[in-house]
Amino acid sequence: MLPNGFNAVILADLSTSQDITTGERLTRVEKAVIVSAYVDLVGLATQQFGQAQGFNLAYSLEMERYKYNGEKYAFMQNTLYEVKSLSKAKMPNKMNLNIQQLDDVDKKQAVEDWKNANL
């Protein structure tokens, strides 16, 4: 479990393509950015909204609005999450990304490879 507080988060978009020689599906990072976000448990109303939509939301990431460009995945502390919904934060210049843990080994490996190559 993540502690509440600020964490370095990799926001990323991934794509999957097929290798024409081997037929293997390859997942790679299309774009990524590292941001500092305040991690907290999702609120009760947000959790209920997520459950109604079929989500199991884990955390909310509060961050500056201008830093988010529609990325679908968040990676922090060696765990991959999928951004499932957005909500307003307490301050008008911030927003919350509500995330659900994702257990996709190929996608996680693609983000880890990007992290190792770029950091």
Write the CB contacts of 84 (distance below 8 Å, at least 6 apart in sequence).
50, 53, 55, 57, 98, 99, 100
Asked if the 5-118 domain carries CATH number 2.40.10.270, the reply is: yes
Measured distance CA(33)–CA(44) in Å, rounded: 29
Q: Residue 94's pLDDT is what?
A: 96
- In the chain (119 residues long), the average pLDDT of successive 10-residue segments reads 83 94 92 96 88 91 95 96 94 95 96 95
Based on its alpha-carbon atoms, the radius of gyration of the chain, rounded to whole angstroms, reads: 15
Domain chopping of the chain, boundaries: 5-118
For residue 99, which amino acid is it? I
12: buried, middle or exposed (CB in 10 Å: 19+, 13-18, 0-12)? buried
**What is the pLDDT, as a whole number, of residue 6?**
93
